[in-house]
Amino acid sequence: MRRNSRFIPILILISLFRSCNNVPKETKSESNIDVFQWMLGDWIQFIADTTAIYKEKWEKLNDSRSEE
């Protein structure tokens, strides 16, 4: 598990970079707070999706180990 924890900061940076590049044009004319809220929502969704993927892989790994 320690090895996987190295990738968490990388995932956070990638998600923030994605959020900055994916700001829709109609959002750019709004206030900074609105843009920040939009980026935060995108970041939370990215973390939730990533967590779900790793949880699924972790459960499959544990199931395969318990069968052996």
Distance CA 50, CA 44 (A): 10
Q: Which residue has the higher pLDDT, 41 or 19?
A: 41
Length of the chain: 68
* pLDDT (tens digit per residue) in 22-52: 556 555 556 667 777 777 888 888 888 888 8
CB of 59 closer than 8 Å to CB of 20: no
Burial class (CB in 10 A: 0-12, 13-18, 19+), 43: middle
